[in-house]
């Protein structure tokens, strides 16, 4: 091609680009479109363009491609339609490429904030979010007031005999009382838990990294308590963080081998609030790769009751460490079962709060419209104390709303409490759900049968995870040479590229209907015995909790049952879980792995 022909070709190309841009409706006049077309066409000549770039630019969309892909749109297309669509998409190619290649900070949320509670009440007070600045102030005041009167109560609390009930398995309240009764210091507690983590982690594989500042943080907690600065019941209590929680100075790996050394220099809100409450971070605990399952780049996290098996996921390390007595409590997260599943498998307690109760800022995103952060502990009260410390708006996560948490630290008497509570259970309950319902009835409580209407759209709604996760982790997936680099997600990420944006929006609209219908059923009772279907309640954002109780003699470990309730009813769930656990204490309390190796 000579210079004159090349020039003519370039003019023709700009003219075609200009006309195509006008056809898209983005520009009102051909003159405006030509200006943009000239800028878009200001590219190096083919001779100056690297071979890899020439190959990329050669991927022009054709009418034949559109026709072959027409099943995605479900719209009947003729030849002219396909030609027109191909031109329009080629004109937008540069914008799409810019969108896909321009980095977005991992803590940037979607412009649309999911607030499912908005759809369940016409009460303006329930719809209005507290000003984040006011929420922050009230949070600080709460911590201060919590510390001011708590020492007197804890100094009078009766404590177990460590020879019978090892300190590593004491409740949060007992550990807090032990600190104030000077049975031990936070430094001693922290050293004990660190020793246990290092002793049992080679078999359990629940630790990703240790906090090198843990002992210094514990010494500071002891100093403050000595000086009379009591931050509350979590002051000096050692804890573990699921390794999606960003903490400066420590790797935050998300369970992915490509991120094994990556440090994310923001402090997640949940971590900041626990630091403000005086809790001492021991370690980052394992998470399945990109929050799926119990398999991470270091291996499979084990179940302390049966170390040959996995602990389920993705809050694998948090559930494992809590039940094995390797920390005072832990923090997990759930998108579609990642608190409920591992706490069931590991036979401990975990609270999945209502969506929008706890900020996810600084935590790995899997699904902006589905992720929840919650506590994992050995008792419902452990979970309650931690939940109280971490809930509330921070001005950084737009989905979080302020709601009361009316939880009372009191002895639950059957005659006073159980008689005032209405329980629900499925007409086709699972064995443990039926057992708990019968126990409640025998104790004088009320249980009615309630069922949720089937919804054939739930499968499509769960594609929210596929779409949102594929968008969030697209950069890692694009750079991956092996599927294992994204764990179990590779097939889902590939599939997500073909999910329609229109179907995603329609599924999100369908969730409103599911939210309203699920809330309508749950409002018939105070507590529902069961998880009410993990897919359903994770899509709707309703709270749920697993509680360990009684003895499973066939497997030498406790039983578990899930409890669910209407929005913002965490206090009711926790009270019911505490009653169940007091009525039938978990037996055995300590896994054989720990009991046979640990010092009292």
The more confident residue out of 43 and 184 is 184
Predicted pLDDT of residue 146: 53
Domain(s) labelled CATH 3.90.1300.10 in the chain stretch across 126-457+485-595
Tell me what pLDDT residue 402 has: 94
pLDDT over 80 (residue 9)? no
Q: Which residues contact 554 (CB under 8 A, 6 or more apart)?
A: none
**Percent above pLDDT 90 for the chain:** 73
Q: Answer yes or no: 314 catalytic.
A: yes
**Residue 409 or 376, more confident:** 376
Out of 18-22, 50-54, 178-182, 326-330, least confident range: 50-54
pLDDT at 50 > cutoff 60: no
Q: What is the mean pLDDT of residues 537-549?
A: 98
CA 180, CA 187: separation in Å to the nearest integer? 13
Active-site residue, selected from the candidate residues 117, 312, 338, 354 = 338
Specify whether 354 is catalytic: no
Please tell me the predicted confidence (pLDDT) of residue 534. Answer: 96
Judge whether 547 and 435 are in contact, CB under 8 Å.
no
More confident site: 275 or 33? 275
- Note the pLDDT of residue 488: 96
Distance, in Å, from the CA atom of 307 to the CA atom of 325, rounded to the nearest integer, reads: 15
For the stretch 185-196, pLDDT in tens is 999 999 999 999
Q: Rounded to an integer, what distance in angstroms lies between the CA atom of residue 295 and that of residue 228?
A: 44
Distance between CA atoms of residues 450 and 319, nearest Å: 30
**Helix (H), strand (E) at residue 498:** none
Compute the mean pLDDT over every residue in the chain, rounded to the nearest whole number. 87
CB 321 within 8 A of CB 340: no
Average pLDDT over residues 434-439: 98
| pLDDT band at 151; cut points 50, 70, 90 | confident
Indicate the pLDDT class of residue 124, thresholds 50, 70 and 90. Answer: very low
Q: Which fold has domain 126-457+485-595?
A: Amidase signature (AS) enzymes (3.90.1300)
Q: Which of 163, 196, 162 is nearest to 181 (CA)?
A: 162
- Determine whether 420 is an active site residue: no
Write the pLDDT tens digit of every residue in 443-479. 999 999 999 999 999 999 999 999 999 999 999 999 9
| pLDDT level of residue 91 (50, 70, 90 thresholds) | confident
Q: Residue 387 above 90 pLDDT?
A: yes
Bridge-based pairing state of the strands 446-449 and 422-425? parallel
- DSSP letter for 118, please: G
Catalytic one of 87, 139, 242, 372? 242
Give residue 218's pLDDT band: very low, low, confident or very high (50, 70, 90): very high
Rounded-to-integer distance, Cα 437 and Cα 539, Å: 26
Residue 264's SS3 state is coil
Query: Where is average pLDDT lowest: 2-6, 196-200, 416-420, 585-589?
Result: 2-6
Poorest-confidence range of 73-77, 207-211, 278-282, 359-363? 73-77
Reported as a single tens digit per residue, the pLDDT across 228-239 is 999 999 999 999
Task: Please name the residue that has the structure tokens 């490429």.
Answer: 97
Q: Say what the pLDDT of residue 409 is.
A: 57
Torsion of CA 142, 148, 153, 157, to 10 degrees: 80
Element (DSSP H or E) covering residue 372:
strand 372-377
Tokens of 487: 């764990």
Size (the chain), residues: 600
CA angle 43, 46, 47 (to 5 degrees): 120
Mean pLDDT computed over 501-525: 95
* Block residue for tokens 């769930």: 573
Predicted local confidence at residue 448, as pLDDT: 98
pLDDT, mean of residues 175-181: 98
Where b means 16+ CB within 10 Å and e means fewer, 145-160 reads: ebbeebbeebeeeebe
Which pLDDT score, from 0 to 100, does residue 110 have? 83
Out of 117, 314, 315, 480, which one is annotated catalytic? Answer: 314
Three-state secondary structure call for residue 329: strand
Q: How far is residue 441's CA from residue 464's CA, in Å, rounded to a whole number?
A: 39
Q: Report which of 62, 61, 58, 21 is spatially closest to residue 39, judged by C-alpha positions.
A: 21
pLDDT of residue 127: 42
The pLDDT score that the predictor gives to residue 123 is 52
Q: What mean pLDDT is predicted for residues 99-112? A: 84
At 419, the pLDDT band (50, 70, 90 cuts) reads confident
Do the beta carbons of residue 362 and residue 330 sit within 8 Å?
no
Cis, peptide link before residue 120, omega less than 30° from 0:
no
335 forms bridges with which residues in the sheet?
A: none
Q: What is the pLDDT of residue 147?
A: 53
């Amino acid at each position: 091609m000579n210079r004159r022909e090349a020039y003519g070709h370039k003019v023709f190309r700009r003219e075609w680009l200009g006309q195509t841009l006008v056809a898209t409706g983005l520009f009102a006049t051909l003159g405006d479109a030509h200006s943009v077309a000239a800028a878009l066409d200001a590219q190096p000549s083919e001779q100056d363009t690297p071979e890899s770039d020439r190959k990329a630019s050669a991927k022009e969309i054709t009418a034949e491609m559109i026709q072959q892909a027409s099943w995605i749109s479900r719209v009947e297309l003729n030849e002219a339609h396909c030609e027109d669509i191909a031109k329009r998409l080629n004109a937008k190619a540069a914008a799409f490429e810019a969108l896909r290649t321009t980095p977005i900070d991992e803590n940037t949320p979607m412009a649309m904030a999911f607030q499912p509670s908005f759809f369940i009440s016409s009460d303006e007070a329930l719809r209005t979010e507290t000003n984040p600045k006011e929420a922050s102030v009230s949070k600080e005041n709460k911590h201060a007031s919590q510390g001011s009167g708590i020492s007197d109560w804890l100094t009078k609390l009766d404590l177990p005999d460590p020879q019978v009930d090892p300190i590593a398995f004491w409740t949060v309240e007992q550990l807090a009382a032990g600190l104030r009764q000077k049975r031990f210091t936070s430094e001693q507690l922290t050293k004990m838990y660190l020793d246990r983590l290092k002793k049992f982690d080679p078999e359990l594989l629940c630790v990703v990294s240790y906090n090198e500042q843990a002992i210094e943080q514990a010494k500071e907690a002891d100093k403050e308590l000595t000086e009379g600065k009591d931050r509350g019941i979590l002051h000096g209590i050692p804890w573990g963080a699921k390794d999606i929680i960003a903490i400066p100075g420590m790797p935050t790996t998300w369970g992915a081998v490509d991120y094994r050394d990556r440090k994310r220099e923001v402090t997640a809100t949940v971590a900041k609030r626990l630091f403000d409450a005086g809790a001492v971070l021991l370690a980052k605990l394992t998470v399945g790769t990109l929050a799926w399952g119990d398999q991470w780049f270091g291996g499979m996290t084990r179940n302390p009751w049966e170390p040959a098996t996995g602990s389920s996921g993705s809050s694998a390390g948090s559930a494992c460490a809590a039940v094995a007595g390797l920390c005072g409590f832990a923090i997990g997260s759930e998108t579609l079962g990642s608190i409920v599943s591992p706490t069931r498998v590991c036979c401990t307690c975990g609270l999945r709060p209502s969506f929008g109760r706890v900020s996810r800022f600084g935590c790995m995103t899997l699904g902006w419209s589905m992720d929840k952060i919650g506590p994992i502990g050995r008792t419902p009260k452990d979970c309650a104390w931690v939940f109280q410390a971490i809930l509330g708006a921070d001005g950084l996560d737009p989905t979080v709303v302020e709601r009361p948490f009316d939880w009372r630290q009191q002895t639950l008497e059957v005659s006073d409490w159980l008689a005032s509570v209405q329980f629900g259970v499925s007409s086709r309950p699972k064995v443990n759900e039926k057992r708990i319902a019968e126990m409640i009835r025998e104790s004088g409580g009320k249980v009615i049968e309630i069922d949720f209407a089937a919804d054939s759209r739930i499968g499509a709604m769960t594609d929210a995870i596929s779409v949102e996760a594929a968008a969030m982790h697209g950069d890692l997936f694009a750079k991956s040479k092996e599927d294992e680099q994204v764990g179990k997600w590779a097939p889902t990420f590939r599939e997500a590229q073909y999910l329609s944006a229109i179907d995603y929006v329609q599924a999100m609209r369908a969730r409103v209907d599911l939210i309203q219908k699920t809330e309508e059923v749950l409002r018939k009772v105070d507590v529902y015995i069961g998880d009410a279907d993990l897919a359903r309640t994770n899509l709707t954002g309703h709270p749920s909790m697993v509680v360990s109780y009684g003895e499973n003699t066939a497997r030498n470990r406790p039983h578990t049952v899930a409890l669910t309730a209407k929005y913002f009813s965490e206090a009711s769930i926790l009270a019911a879980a505490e009653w169940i656990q007091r009525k039938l204490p978990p037996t055995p309390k300590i896994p054989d792995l720990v009991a046979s190796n640990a010092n009292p």
